A = this chain, B = another copy of it.
């Protein structure tokens, strides 16, 4: 592959020093003059009729400037199915429903006022189990859709179904079949920065929302709609404060944002709503729990002949964008490994649980846990080494998968091989049973993810504006966002490389809808690929403008001119080389020039919106990975220790290996938490462990070394060959560990997290007794 000056360099994050020296302005540091503090009164009931809301006492708290309810504000609907409202009027459907809100001059006054709001409820029947919720006698979470049409059951009218090949034929051709049911529960993003926003109207009625959203452009449209509902004629601007973690939690607008808008409009003052840690746990939306049934089979050689996946997802009480995760779950379901005959169907169900949302991996961690654990079971049945089984079915460059994904580059096999080699698979596999009370085992699991965006919205594009000043300083305005993943640095590298200048000359501006062009949002690991291509396209225009001008100045043909090291380089005649600054000066100031270099570019991947039959090429490229892990299981306690962890990823090209490894490392740790410790414990719809300790988030002490293997496949569609890599590191972690536990102690675990009591229970169940003597 071509070697580059900036691309491929392990540069530290451009905003790193600001962050470690505490100068970054996060939402919690963000203040505006005259700003009020908003606070929300949550229902704390799971299903009830709201009989009355008495705010009179709250209004008398000194410092209170407004108390709003659904009764004194316009109805603002939001969410993917518009089944949610900013403030609830008659009915509570989940314990975190927003009943009222206060704006006051201090957070303390706001809190006191919220405490003084008196709500009278009349409890209604509730349902918490999605399969129960599908039953004929289940209480309805919503009696009607947002248009008033009565609903007959709790099943969401969402079309998540795809089928390819002939399932029956695939079943018939199978010699070995594995079938299982896999249960995954709620986990949440645990962003270090809790959610919050500041809303403010200016004198013209234009609204600015300072928010840590991951979707500034879509949020702008949502807020614009809210203004319409409020009867306010004004523009909307969304500005991002620095985000202390996104991970999908901010991929939709939330009630608190509309509440801040309503309070700001009512008080004509800036209003900030920010969550404390408990509210963050309680009032933001976690990853969906799912019950996933997998049935897959292979022929005598271990080649997959079919796969059938069906699942029920607990949607909770309202529908966010996260309800579309099955569109992405389909991907590994149909296309991880070569499987000719596939069927996937997902049912989303309203319950009185907390409503769910996107989270890193967007459904694929759930479904990959099921597929990859089940595949190990199938290998077992077929008498094949799971590694060998995976190799035989590995995806290949050039294939079109049953769902219609066009695979260009594919490093699936290389990732498998790298993991097997690094982990000494052959030497370690199947040795676990030998030892004493602590048994070791190895396991692996693979992943398929979008690496070039994911067209699950009408546009998957990103706009970029770029300008270069007459001294060679460049500003790039990207619609995308740096949410900590390092996009800022990656775009600097892409643009600097294209223009032959140092990255210190490039400035990246993101997170302001007034300044930055449209982008669908930071999701689907799309930013390096889509925003990278958008920036690359814009930078190439500048490059072309410069070289066209250089052609005039040097009288050398365009084809032999290049930009390198801050110079126009004439490849055949170095005496014609020209410092870029000299050219820029002439372009701007000479009579011949009088121009400055600026460009705009909107990059839309050439992909198909995944809808209807859900077939077609919906990403610009795809990425594979394989994780291998060696664990040590304490058979007395059920405690699982990670001994070694290898993560191999097909990244296309590493624009910045340092940040890339950071992404993989962070994702793997998140994956280990998902696998072994993290869970939200709900009882009758109420969260019982709304803090880090009881939630059991991994801490620095739990961090394990992760060996990252970067497999570069130089994707022709990626910017300098790159694919997206933000989420994949989290996807195969849980099944790799589950498979390693099996190798170590011989028990198959079908639920997450695989906490000590679960492992121990499985050991005891298998060994037929209530614990060892």
Q: Is the interface of A mostly helix, strand, loop or mixed?
A: loop
28 contacts between A and B (CB under 8 A): A14-B204, A15-B203, A16-B203, A17-B203, A17-B204, A18-B202, A23-B202, A23-B203, A204-B504, A206-B507, A217-B469, A221-B471, A235-B505, A235-B507, A458-B589, A461-B594, A461-B596, A463-B467, A463-B598, A465-B465, A465-B600, A467-B600, A470-B518, A477-B515, A507-B514, A509-B514, A518-B588, A598-B602
- Complex Cα distance, B460 from A595, in Å, reads 11
In angstroms, how far is the closest chain B Cβ from the Cβ of A566?
Answer: 13
Residues of A584-611 contacting chain B, CB below 8 A: 588-589, 594-596, 598-602, 604
- Complex Cα distance, B761 from A267, in Å, reads 61
A477 neighbours in B (Cβ, 8 Å): 515
Is A233 interfacial (CB-CB < 8 Å)? yes
A513 neighbours in B (Cβ, 8 Å): 469
Task: Establish whether residues A514 and B475, one from each chain, have CB atoms under 8 Å apart when the complex forms.
Answer: yes
Q: Which B residue's beta carbon lies closest to that of A470?
A: B518
Task: Establish whether residues B18 and A203, one from each chain, have CB atoms under 8 Å apart when the complex forms.
Answer: yes
Residues of A466-523 contacting chain B, CB below 8 A: 467, 469-471, 473, 475, 477, 504-505, 507, 509, 513-515, 517-518
- Complex Cα distance, B224 from A505, in Å, reads 12
Residues of A1-49 contacting chain B, CB below 8 A: 14-18, 21, 23, 25, 29, 33-34
Q: Which B residue's beta carbon lies closest to that of A464?
A: B598
Task: Establish whether residues A517 and B461, one from each chain, have CB atoms under 8 Å apart when the complex forms.
Answer: no
Is A400 interfacial (CB-CB < 8 Å)? no
Q: Which B residue's beta carbon lies closest to that of A474?
A: B235
A17 neighbours in B (Cβ, 8 Å): 202-204
The count of identical subunits is 2
- Complex Cα distance, B17 from A463, in Å, reads 33
A18 neighbours in B (Cβ, 8 Å): 202-204
In the complex with contacts A467-B465, A471-B221, A596-B518 CB distance below 8 A:
yes
Is A459 interfacial (CB-CB < 8 Å)? yes
Task: Establish whether residues B21 and A203, one from each chain, have CB atoms under 8 Å apart when the complex forms.
Answer: yes
Contact of A602 (CB < 8 Å), options: B23, B204, B596, B604: B596
- Complex Cα distance, B463 from A218, in Å, reads 29
- Complex Cα distance, B514 from A507, in Å, reads 8
A600 neighbours in B (Cβ, 8 Å): 465, 467, 598-600
Known: A25-B33, A237-B507, A467-B517. 8 other contacts (CB 8 A): A17-B204, A23-B202, A221-B471, A224-B471, A235-B507, A465-B598, A517-B596, A595-B602
Q: Which B residue's beta carbon lies closest to that of A516?
A: B467
Q: Which B residue's beta carbon lies closest to that of A17?
A: B203
